[in-house]
């Protein structure tokens, strides 16, 4: 029995009703890393690894949740929406933010499970939050648009769960479009879709199966280093607000010799924004090979200029670079572990899998897990 059937059956057995079925996808980011908090650009897409929800209204104010994959349940009430510091907070936080925003969902039942690999950096939490918000909007006919819903998802994670995430994960999961990536301006939230002509090419995630403890502390350090660079440059250019407004000539003139470390951090961000714009132009021209080269450039910058990679991620990208059937590869996410994202010709996929599996094990002693993804639509109903 497939997952949707299992969720449906579990819902019917528990609540004696037929559910509304929702698909809320995870996301990848093809290029544009650590640019979001610098008011730059990102280029994410929704993928066919997703959270699935079976949802239905109740006649009372109670909340009944079943985490199918965890085999755990939660029961509560709309009258007491407080953090539990468990998985239930990702659902409760969305309900709380809907109510704070003046929307009045009633009590409801929810059974959910997913196909997003755990710990892979594909934003399962954003997918779950979007799925809950989308379901509330559908079940209780609240009339909200997608942008409003994804902002409430972000607020739920920021303020209820307590994770200070940016907007990209929620945006990609909710706004994804099959066969397209989203060029998202993190300053204005303006967005456009760029075609991703992937016929004969697979998106492959290589999970390093490591997550170094540096990720949180170094993430905060990188943010402060970028902010320090902006403050310094503002003494010469008072109008700049973030690295989005900075050019390489500005950095070369004022920072390169004054503070080489801050220069490298800022230069990476400025160059990554340009790589993304060049990448969108390449995709619009149907030149996926050129886009792949820009991905390699992105990894080089993340590893040597921004210094958020790690030996395992560098090894995965180096192995990929050896193969002619790989168009591009880079680390994805915050860094210090997690996944690389690779564009691999389908006729080279078996060789790529074999080489990555053997060489990564030989060089690190660890197993790499590979996931092949397709680009799909954002959060949506499955049944009418």
Q: What pLDDT, in 10s, does the model give residues 42-85?
A: 999 999 999 999 999 999 999 999 999 999 999 999 999 999 99
Q: Is 219 annotated as a binding residue?
A: yes
Instruction: Work out the average pLDDT over 227-246.
Output: 98
Q: Is 131 annotated as a binding residue?
A: no
pLDDT band (50, 70, 90) for residue 163 = confident
Nearest to 155 by CA among 168, 146, 143, 164: 164
Q: Where does the chain hold its CATH 3.30.230.10 domain(s)?
A: 3-197+377-381
The count of other CB atoms within 10 Å of the CB of residue 234 is 13
Q: Is 124 annotated as a binding residue?
A: yes
Q: Is 121 annotated as a binding residue?
A: yes
- The whole-angstrom distance between residue 40's C-alpha and the CA centroid of its chain comes to 16
Q: Over the chain, what is the mean pLDDT?
A: 95
Rounded Cα gap, residues 315 and 320, in angstroms: 9
Instruction: Work out the average pLDDT over 277-298.
Output: 95
Give tens-digit pLDDT for 104-162.
999 999 999 999 877 667 889 999 999 999 999 999 999 999 999 999 999 999 999 98
Q: How far apart are the first and last CA of the chain?
A: 21
Q: Is the pLDDT of residue 171 over 90?
A: yes
Q: Among residues 18, 48, 169, 318, which one is catalytic?
A: 169
Q: 């403890």: which residue's tokens?
A: 213
pLDDT for the residue 123: 84
Rounded Cα gap, residues 339 and 207, in angstroms: 4
Sheet holding 44-57, edge to edge: 72-77, 62-67, 108-114, 44-57, 20-29, 380-381
| Whether 312 contacts 338, CB under 8 Å | no
Q: Is the pLDDT of residue 164 over 80?
A: no
Rounded Cα gap, residues 325 and 151, in angstroms: 39
E strands along the chain, which residues?
20-29, 41-42, 44-57, 62-67, 72-77, 108-114, 180-185, 191-195, 201-211, 326-332, 337-345, 369-373, 380-381
Decide the pairing of beta strands 191-195 and 180-185: antiparallel
Catalytic residue list contains 318: no
pLDDT for the residue 242: 97
Instruction: Work out the average pLDDT over 332-354.
Output: 94
Q: Is the pLDDT of residue 1 over 70?
A: no
pLDDT for the residue 165: 79
Classified by CATH at the fold level, domain 201-373 comes out as Alpha-Beta Plaits (3.30.70)
Q: Is 120 annotated as a binding residue?
A: yes
Nearest to 164 by CA among 176, 156, 175, 172: 156
Q: Is 299 annotated as a binding residue?
A: no
Which residues are 184's β-sheet partners?
42, 191
Decide the pairing of beta strands 369-373 and 337-345: unpaired
Specify whether the backbone of 119 is left (phi greater than 0), alpha (psi in -120 to 50) or beta.
left
Instruction: Work out the average pLDDT over 186-215.
Output: 90
Residues 6+ apart with CB under 8 A from 116: 26, 49, 50, 51, 122, 123, 124, 127
Rounded Cα gap, residues 213 and 218, in angstroms: 9
Give tens-digit pLDDT for 356-375.
999 999 999 999 999 999 99
Tokens standing for 245?
A: 């407004």
Rounded Cα gap, residues 359 and 317, in angstroms: 12
pLDDT for the residue 193: 96
Q: Is 357 annotated as a binding residue?
A: no
Q: Is 199 annotated as a binding residue?
A: no
Q: Is 33 annotated as a binding residue?
A: yes
| Whether 58 contacts 16, CB under 8 Å | no
Which residues are 340's β-sheet partners?
206, 331
Tokens standing for 247?
A: 């050019």
pLDDT for the residue 282: 94
Q: Domain 3-197+377-381's class?
A: alpha beta
Q: Is the pLDDT of residue 300 over 70?
A: yes
Q: Is 59 annotated as a binding residue?
A: no
Q: Where does the chain hold its CATH 3.30.70.890 domain(s)?
A: 201-373
């Amino acid at each position: 029995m497939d997952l949707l059937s299992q969720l449906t059956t579990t819902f019917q057995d528990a609540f004696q009703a037929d559910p509304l079925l929702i698909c809320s996808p995870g996301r990848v980011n093809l290029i544009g890393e650590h640019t979001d908090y610098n008011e730059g650009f990102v280029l994410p897409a929704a993928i066919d690894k997703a959270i699935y929800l079976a949802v239905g209204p109740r006649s009372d104010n109670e909340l009944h949740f079943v985490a199918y994959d965890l085999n755990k349940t939660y029961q509560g009430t709309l009258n007491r929406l407080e953090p539990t510091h468990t998985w239930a907070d990702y659902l409760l936080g969305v309900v709380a933010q809907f109510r704070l925003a003046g929307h009045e969902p009633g009590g409801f039942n929810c059974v959910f499970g997913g196909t997003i690999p755990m710990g892979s950096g594909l934003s399962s939490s954003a997918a779950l939050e979007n799925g809950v918000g989308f379901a509330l909007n559908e079940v209780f006919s609240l009339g909200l648009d997608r942008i409003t819903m994804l902002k409430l998802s972000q607020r739920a994670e920021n303020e209820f769960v307590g994770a200070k995430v940016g907007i990209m994960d929620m945006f990609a999961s909710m706004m994804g479009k099959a066969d397209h990536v989203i060029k998202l301006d993190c300053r204005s939230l303006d967005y456009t879709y760029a075609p991703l002509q992937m016929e004969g090419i697979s998106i492959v995630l290589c999970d390093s199966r490591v997550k170094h403890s540096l990720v949180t502390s170094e993430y905060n350090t990188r943010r402060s280093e970028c902010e320090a660079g902006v403050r310094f440059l503002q003494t010469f250019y008072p109008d700049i607000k973030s690295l989005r407004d900075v050019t390489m000539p500005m950095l070369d003139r004022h920072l390169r010799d004054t503070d080489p470390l801050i220069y490298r951090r800022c230069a990476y961000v400025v160059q990554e924004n340009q790589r993304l714009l060049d990448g969108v132009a390449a995709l619009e021209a149907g030149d996926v090979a050129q886009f792949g080269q820009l991905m390699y450039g992105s990894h080089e910058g993340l590893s040597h200029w921004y210094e958020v990679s790690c030996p395992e991620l560098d090894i995965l990208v180096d192995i990929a670079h050896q193969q002619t059937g790989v168009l591009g590869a880079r680390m994805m996410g915050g860094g210090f572990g997690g996944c690389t994202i690779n564009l691999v010709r389908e006729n080279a996929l078996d060789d790529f899998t074999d080489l990555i599996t053997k060489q990564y094990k030989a060089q690190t002693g660890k197993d790499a897990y590979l996931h092949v993804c397709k680009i799909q639509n954002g959060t949506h109903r499955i049944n009418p």
